[in-house]
Amino acid sequence: MLAGDDNAVVLHDSGIVTALDGFHGGHDELSVLTEVPVRAVITRAPAPRPDSPLRQAMRDLIATVHSFGVRFGVDEVHTLEEAEHWRSAGADGVIGLLPALTAAEVTELLAAWPGTLPR
């Protein structure tokens, strides 16, 4: 999707939610968020470890995306540890192949993500 993409505007005006998949957080992609009605971005990046200098950079990027009113999702998350790293960095949700969980574990995991369960 390019800045000023009329198709995204038509979809938005028709009530269809749009997302920017493959988001990397560069200047051009951030610019798109100011010009095109995007509800969410989805990235595929390794989870920032708590001791990594990239952790604060990712927190800042997620906060910037949120400042545009856009949600931040992460695809290709494969462990609960990665999911927790992304959650603590501010991501709104994760997608991926996680290990099989019991119903109680799913409930606990969902409860850890603010805003995911109806109250």
The CATH number of whichever domain residue 62 belongs to comes to 3.20.20.450
Q: Residue 26: which of 78, 64, 80 has the closest Cα? A: 64
Q: Which is it for strands 71-74 and 93-94: parallel, antiparallel or unpaired?
A: parallel
Total number of domains in the chain: 1
In a domain, 119, yes or no: no
In a domain, 46, yes or no: yes
- Over residues 74-104, the pLDDT tens digits come to 999 988 889 889 998 999 999 987 677 788 8
In a domain, 85, yes or no: yes
In a domain, 99, yes or no: yes
CA distances from 104 to 94, 108, 118 (A): 19, 6, 17
pTM: 0.75
Residue 89, φ and ψ in degrees, nearest 5: -85, -10
In a domain, 1, yes or no: no
In a domain, 93, yes or no: yes
- Over residues 45-60, the pLDDT tens digits come to 888 888 888 999 999 9
Show the domain range for 90. 6-112
- Helix/strand/coil percentages in the chain, nearest 5: 45, 10, 45
